[in-house]
Amino acid sequence: TYIVTDNCIRCKYTDCVEVCPVDCFYEGENFLVIHPDECIDCGVCEPECPAEAIKPDTEPGLDHWLKINTEFAQIWPNITSKRDPLPEAKEMDGVPGKFEKYFS
């Protein structure tokens, strides 16, 4: 599966949702997640993300993010079309450790 990782937080560009053939993105206030059981591993969303936040879960060190995607995909609503990015997207793009800064 592919998963959404840290750099989506407070950017939420949403280019990714437009290309997903199975509509498996789910939307929180500050970032999106992918439903790992619905993702068919096609990989087309990965290059679409301007923040480079989408990764295959086969990359090392992403266990934490697989858990976050799995958990929130079950409670957040589905999103299938692009919206405006968050107003702070540009300045937040590339800020390291966003999850620790804003969610704990």
Considering only 6-14, 16-24, 62-70, 92-100, which stretch makes contact with ligand SF4 by CB under 6 A? 16-24
Q: How far is the CB of 8 from ligand SF4 (least distance, A)?
A: 12
In whole angstroms, what is the distance from residue 5 CA to residue 64 CA?
A: 9
- Of 83, 13, 93, give the one whose Cα is nearest residue 45: 13
Which string of x and - marks every residue 42-81 that binds ligand SF4 (by CB under 6 A)? Answer: xxxx------------------------------------
Considering only 12-20, 35-43, 60-68, 94-102, which stretch makes contact with ligand F3S by CB under 6 A? 12-20
Q: Does 8 bind ligand SF4 (CB under 6 A)?
A: no
- Name the binder of 11 from ligand SF4, ligand F3S, none, CB < 5-8 A by kind: ligand F3S
